[in-house]
Amino acid sequence: MTMFLPGMEESFATTAVVCNSAARTWCDPSQHCEVVGLDFGCNSVHYYMARCGRQGKMRFSELPGWLRRLETGSLVVCEAAHLGVPQTELSLAQPYKADDLLDLYSGLRSRGVTLKLAPHAHTGKRMRLWVAHRCPDIVSGSEKSDAADAIALAIYVDRCNDIALANPYRSFNNAAKREFGRKVRQLSNRILNAERTDEYKGKFYPLVVSLARKVRRLGNTPDLKFVLSIASTVVSEEQGRLLLFTHRGHVPGRWFWLRNVLRMSAWHHRGGIARSNLMWHRFRPFSASYAMRGFGVNLKNGNGYKDFALHTDSEKAARTAAMKFYREMILQCRDRCIAKALEMGAGRMELTDTPQEADHGR
C-alpha cells in the first residue's frame, strides 16, 4: 500500500493528583472540586471519587438521589450506554426510562453538578489500560470489573482526559442528522458487502466502482478499497444511475459528513464497514509508516501495533500528526468523489424525512 507523507460501601485508595494539562474543549477537570466515575453491573452501580479516593456501590434506585447530594461543582463521568440510553421495549436491561434520565439531567444541572458521557468502546481497554499502566497500585491491567471501570473513568478524565466526552441529550427523539448518517451507513454497508465478495470488480454496483476507479486515478489515495469505502458513503446506485445522498436537498458538508456519516470521533459505535476499512485496515499501517518516516518513531510492536493508551509523548504526537494528514486525505477523496459523480450525471437521493432537528446535547 502506498503511503503519503507531509513534509455505598466505601473504602479508600491512593489520592489522585489534579492536573491542569487535562483541560479539553469538552471539560476542564481542574475546574471541578471532584471527579466521579460510575459503572453499572450486576444490578449495582459502582462509583469512585478521583480526588479523595472514596469508592463504593449502590442499587440503581439509590443513584439519582446520591448524585443530587454531590457537592456543587462535581464532575460525574459515566458510559453513555448506562446513563445515556433510556429503557424501551427493545432495551429492557437499561435501568432508567427516558423521563427518569431527563429529570436526572435537569436535577444535576440545577444542583451545579456536571454530567459527561463517555464512549463505552474506550472505557474497558484504553482508559483502564492507561490508568493501570500509571497507577498499578489502584487498578491492575488484568482487572476487568465494574469497580475497576469506575476507577478508570474517574482517574483517566481527571489526569489525561484525551477521549472526547459528550453532554447528555436534551431529548431522546432521533435527530435528523443522526438518522441521515444511519441510513447512509446502511446503504454503504450493502454496497461494500456485495462488492468485496468479488474483490471490488464492479459486478454488483458498476457505476459506484467506476466512480471509485476514476477518483483513484487522480492519485493521493492508498488503494481502490480506500476510495470505494468513501464513495459508498457519498453515492448509491439505483436502476443504472448514480445518486448523491442529500440531507434536506443538499449534499452535506465536510464536518457534517465526518461527524454523522463516518463518525470520525471516539463516538464511532456502529460506524459501518466504510469506517472499519478506513480506520482499522488502512489507518494503522499508514500511521506506522508516517510516524517512522516523518518522525523516526516506531508505532509497531512486532507484527502488531502498540496500544494507543501506552504511547509515549513522542509516539502520541506522531500519531496525532498522522491522523491530521490522513483525515485531510479522506476529505480530499470525498470532495473528488462528489465532483466526479456530478461529472457522471449523478442525481439526488434524499434521505431526510424528519422536518425538524431534535434538541440534543451532542
All domains of the chain in start order, with CATH: 11-159 (3.30.420), 176-350 (no CATH)
pLDDT tier for residue 207 given thresholds of 50, 70 and 90: very high
What pLDDT sits at residue 120? 78
Mean pLDDT, rounded, of the chain: 88
**pLDDT at residue 11, as a whole number:** 34
Structure-model confidence comparison of residues 124 and 55, the more confident one: 55
Task: Please report the pLDDT score of residue 268 as a whole number.
Answer: 54
Average pLDDT over residues 211-240: 96
More confident residue, 19 or 121: 121
End-to-end CA distance of the chain: 36
Position with higher pLDDT, 10 vs 267: 267
Work out the average pLDDT over 10-26.
55
SS (H, E, C) the chain: CCCCCCCCCCEECCCCCCCHHHCCCCCCHHHCCEEEEEEEECCEEEEEECCCCEEEEEEHHHHHHHHHCCCCCEEEEEEHHHHCCCCCCCCCCCCCCHHHHHHHHHHHHHHCCEEEEECHHHHHHHHHHHHHHHCCCCCCCCCCCHHHHHHHHHHHHHHCCCCCCECCCCCCCCCHHHHHHHHHHHHHHHHHHHHHCCCCCCCCCHHHHHHHHHHHCCCCCCCHHHHHHHHCCCEEEECCEEEEEEECCECCCHHHHHHHHCCCCCCCCCCHHHHHHHHHHHHHHHHHHHHHHHHCCCCEECCEECCHHHCCHHHHHHHHHHHHHHHHHHHHHHHHHHHHHHHCCCEEEECCCCCCCCCCCC
Which region among 21-25, 139-143, 246-250, 286-290 has the lowest average model confidence (pLDDT)?
139-143
Q: Can you give the pTM of this predicted structure?
A: 0.77
Question: For the ranges 102-106, 122-126, 216-220, 264-268, which has the lowest average pLDDT?
Answer: 264-268
Which tops the pLDDT comparison, 172 or 84?
A: 84
* Between 198 and 6, residue with greater pLDDT: 198
* Band (266; pLDDT cuts 50, 70, 90): low
Q: What cell numbers appear for 357 in the block?
A: 432537528
